Amino acid sequence: MLQDRRPRGGRAPTPEQRARRVLGLLVLACLTVITLDARASSPLDPLRSAVGNVVGPMESATATAVRPFSDLGDTLQTNHGLRKDVARLEAANAQLRGQVATAPVDRQRLAELDGLTKVVGDTGYSMVAAHVVAVGPMQSFSRTVTIDAGTSSGVHKDMTVLNSDGLVGRVVRATRSNATVLLIVDTDSVVGGRLGTNLEIGFLRGRGSVGDTGRLALDLVDDSVVPAKDDVVVTWGSKDGVPYVAGIPIGRVESVVSSPRQSSRQAVIEPFVDFTALDVVGVVVPKGTKGDRPVLTAGAPQ
Amino acid sequence: MTALRGAGFAALVCAAVVAQAVVFRFVAIDGVVPDIALVLVVVAAIDRGPQFGAVLGFAAGLLVDLAPPADHIAGRWALALVVVGYLAGRVRDDARSSALGAVLVVGAASFVGTSLYALSGVVLGDGALPVDETLRVIVTSVLWDVLLAPLLVPLLLRAFDLLGRDPVPARSRVLH
């Protein structure tokens, strides 16, 4: 067995003992960090924004580098037909292949930006367009994404994030060049919503999962109201638009579940936004925001 | 550990954390991506032992906890990866004996790490999902890591070789 080469007074610890001590110390350190961060105003927030200032730009740069290949993943993941198409195209020449790889992505982005501009026209809100650069893994059991716009573009905590389909989430943290967005399907997310047909209000809670099962649960304030299937839910809006502005479509009623034990009913809402394919999003900013990227404003052409 | 080697490990940890959030999101299954940081910690433990595994697990876990877009209580991934690093280091002889052994250790580590993380969420009431969905996430995550282990483990072991060993054993051999 390996022995410590420098015994100083008494028996020197074996590597196993040393490893166990290190383990104990590190576990204690972790518990300390957890205890500190579990408080409402975490003393770790400065550290978090410092790490964000370093890692955020790295994520943005990596996202830019892998962008031309991004639709390859969609192909593998969602569409067998497209996979076949790619196989067929691989037989074609290199130039064609390159075009096929990047053109749909560019066109898609243009369409999304176009949609965002239309949303600006419809709602009258001013927006900053941003790309989603990183997505939190489901292993962390939270649904968050990083976008490539931060305080330097006028994006701050508690701002509404949407895309051309509807409400995406809200900004929970912003560094100079990046911001973290909590998606509305996260279990921590609560949004005030209003039924489109009868203007009844309620609260939408995320159920945590994305993809085909990404749903929201709507509890109406008035228990006697039964939401109609396919009724559209929009944000009801908070004071001064913090964290959610009013009138943004969230989703439509998929089904209504009533439990016999309680008198309350819960509606299951299918969100309009496809959270597995988030790319271009808009952050609602106050009018007259100045930043290092253009602010989309209703009425005034850029 | 020399400063250069430390910087090398730091760069590896950063690359792993950025890769799993930025690159691998395009192949995510229901949002579950290969846990590159966890595999890195396991390989470190296999290559350098439980002490180093636990230390690198702490560093990598803390970075996962603090780097955007993380929004959970910090220290949870750190705790999970410290334990993973230590345990993987304890069974390093099995992992080094065969390629299959290494893959099995990665799979077991992935199960232990993700479960520990989920458990800490239940204890702290921080973003816990229903049990069936939690299990689905854990199983998918283990499958991902086992699938990528044959590719990642040799690659990372190679990177560790390039970074070189701690000079302490070599010096003591000269002295004695």
pLDDT tens string A153-205: 999 999 999 988 899 999 999 999 999 999 999 888 899 998 888 888 899 99
A167 three-state secondary structure: strand
- pLDDT band for position A109 (50/70/90)? confident
Tell me if B22 and A63 make a contact (CB, 8 A cut-off): yes
Kindly state whether residue A20 falls inside one of the protein's structural domains: no
Cβ-contact A283, A130 below 8 angstroms: yes
Q: Which among A29, A66, A138 is the nearest to B30, CB-wise?
A: A138
B79 three-state secondary structure: helix
Q: What is the C-alpha separation between A232 and A218, in angstroms, rounded?
A: 12
Kindly state whether residue A184 falls inside one of the protein's structural domains: yes
- Backbone phi, psi, residue A256, to 5°: -120, 125
Q: A212: which chain B residues are within 8 Å (Cβ-Cβ)?
A: 30
End-to-end CA distance of chain A: 73
Share of chain A above pLDDT 70, in %: 80
Q: Which residues of A102-122 are buried (b: 16+ CB within 10 A; e: fewer)?
A: eeebeebeeebbeebbebbee
Q: What is the pLDDT of residue A145?
A: 94
- pLDDT band for position A113 (50/70/90)? confident
Q: B58: which chain A residues are within 8 Å (Cβ-Cβ)?
A: 26, 29-30
Kindly state whether residue A169 falls inside one of the protein's structural domains: yes
Please check whether residue A17 touches B, CB under 8 A: no
Kindly state whether residue A5 falls inside one of the protein's structural domains: no
Which domains does chain B possess?
A: 3-162 (1.10.1760.20)
End-to-end CA distance of chain B: 21
Q: Residues near A93 by Cβ (< 8 Å), separated by ≥ 6?
A: none
Q: For chain B, state the CA radius of gyration.
A: 16
Q: B64: which chain A residues are within 8 Å (Cβ-Cβ)?
A: 140
Kindly state whether residue A2 falls inside one of the protein's structural domains: no
Q: Which among A42, A51, A182 is the nearest to B63, CB-wise?
A: A51
Q: Tell me how many residue pairs between chain A and chain B have CB atoms under 8 A apart.
A: 208
Tens of pLDDT along B103-142? 999 999 999 999 999 999 999 988 778 888 889 899 999 9
Kindly state whether residue A238 falls inside one of the protein's structural domains: yes
Please check whether residue A163 touches B, CB under 8 A: no
Tell me if A146 and B69 make a contact (CB, 8 A cut-off): yes
Tell me if B71 and A27 make a contact (CB, 8 A cut-off): no
Average pLDDT over residues A24-53: 91
Element housing A260 (H / E)? none
Average pLDDT over residues A270-279: 88
Q: B133: which chain A residues are within 8 Å (Cβ-Cβ)?
A: 208-209
Tell me if A143 and B31 make a contact (CB, 8 A cut-off): yes
CATH number, position A186 = 2.40.10.350
Please check whether residue A48 touches B, CB under 8 A: yes
* ipTM greater than 0.90: no
Q: What is the C-alpha separation between A284 and A47, in angstroms, rounded?
A: 27
Q: Which domain holds residue A138?
A: 45-287
Please check whether residue A143 touches B, CB under 8 A: yes
Tell me if A59 and B68 make a contact (CB, 8 A cut-off): yes
Q: What is the C-alpha separation between B79 and B77, in angstroms, rounded?
A: 5
Kindly state whether residue A173 falls inside one of the protein's structural domains: yes
Kindly state whether residue A216 falls inside one of the protein's structural domains: yes
- Tally of domains in chain A: 1
CB atoms within 10 A of CB B154: 13
Q: Å from B50 to nearest chain A CA?
A: 6
Q: Residues near A40 by Cβ (< 8 Å), separated by ≥ 6?
A: none
